[in-house]
Amino acid sequence: VVSAAALTLAACGGGGDKADGSDGAAAADGKTLRLAINQTEDYPSTVALTSFGENLSEATDGRWSVDVYPNEQLGAQAEALQLVADGAVDLAVVAGPQLENLNKDFVVFNLPTVFKSVEHETSVINDPEITSELYSSLEDQGISVVGGFTAGMRGVYTKEGPINTPEDLAGMKIRVQETDTNIQMIEAMGGKATPMSFGEVYTALQSGVIDGAENAEPSFVTQKHYEVAKYFSYTDHLINTDYLVINSDLLKSMSEDDQKIFREQWDGFLDEFNGLWEESISTAIDEAKAAGVTFTEPDKEAFAEKLAPLVEKNITNDTQQKLLDATRAAAPAA
């Protein structure tokens, strides 16, 4: 699949015939960009990215457009990220934990308690003064981060419930994203962490390979996990970030004007997404409740206490410390 995709890319993408001046590289005049995302068609980011593609096409007279491939069609996030690095896929949405596997400095945005609210998160992850070095830090690996948007405040959901305290998670296998900090997180909260990709979670819940998972309401519902796990507990243990990544060579091949248009359309994406996000939470809750899901408020303090030491433990260099300080400085006054 990868090599076929790469061949197609070589045939229709690559350099155009305009020189961009500075380094003599040819600037691409346009292309239909393939975008990988693991969410369903009706998830807010998929919807807003589809509009992003349409708007990009309109703003460039059809030269640049986007084909969105939802539901892990081009691979789970780890594979999609690799495909973008290789240039076989142009764009992908990946969650922070995936980027932490490429550069540990992303850890700062993946740790529990760092973001105080989704608003706080949104202001930090779109502030170039805080993020620009981080977002270009993967260029030597072929990845440029376009920007971030929230994946929401996460709760724990289980087949047997409800979860009220860390003790209730004892012995329970809870699916986490495939990364160290996520494993540490569930272990600290009292459960047994089982890392696996997003698309595997439904079957794992159904077959009993796992007892539960953790996510925000829109994923809990659009992935249909609520059909199997009927207890959603608002542990509020993590605010997670999704990123749009693009192949670095492709981005560099775009003319400056086109890069500017691309950025403007990205801002448009953020506006649309942020509007859809809030709405999708209440829709998800209604749908889950109608299907018999119980939402509960656990002892959040008990979980927060267990999670607090993770920050210090995982901040191990100056870059991370600076990112953390800037993030904390941007927090709204309590």
Q: Is 253 in the site for ligand GCU (CB under 6 A)?
A: no
Residue 246: CB minimum distance to ligand GCU, A: 16
Phi, psi of 16 (to 5 degrees): -90, -160
Candidates 110, 158, 177, 179; binder of ligand GCU (CB under 6 A) is 177
Residue 98: CB minimum distance to ligand GCU, A: 8
- The smaller minimum CB distance to ligand GCU, of residues 151 and 163, is found at 151
CA–CA gap between residue 47 and residue 312 (Å, rounded): 37
64-69 and 31-36 strand pairing: parallel
Q: For ligand GCU, what does the binding mask look like between residues 215 and 244, x meaning CB under 6 A?
A: x---x----------------------x--
**In this structure, are residues 71 and 38 in contact, taking their beta carbons and an 8 Å threshold?**
yes
**In this structure, are residues 141 and 243 in contact, taking their beta carbons and an 8 Å threshold?**
no
Reference 242, options 34, 32, 38, 89; nearest CA is 38
- The smaller minimum CB distance to ligand GCU, of residues 95 and 189, is found at 95
CA–CA gap between residue 195 and residue 242 (Å, rounded): 18
Q: For ligand GCU, what does the binding mask look like between residues 36 and 75, x meaning CB under 6 A?
A: --x-------------------------------------
Phi, psi of 100 (to 5 degrees): -60, -30
Candidates 9, 81, 95, 261; binder of ligand GCU (CB under 6 A) is 95
CA–CA gap between residue 225 and residue 166 (Å, rounded): 22
The sign of the dihedral angle between the CA atoms of 36, 38, 39, 45 is negative
Residue 19: CB minimum distance to ligand GCU, A: 38
Residue 154: CB minimum distance to ligand GCU, A: 8
- The smaller minimum CB distance to ligand GCU, of residues 101 and 165, is found at 101
- The smaller minimum CB distance to ligand GCU, of residues 27 and 189, is found at 189
CA–CA gap between residue 269 and residue 93 (Å, rounded): 13
Q: Is 198 in the site for ligand GCU (CB under 6 A)?
A: yes
Site residues, ligand GCU (CB under 6 A)? 38, 77, 95, 151, 177, 198, 215, 219, 242
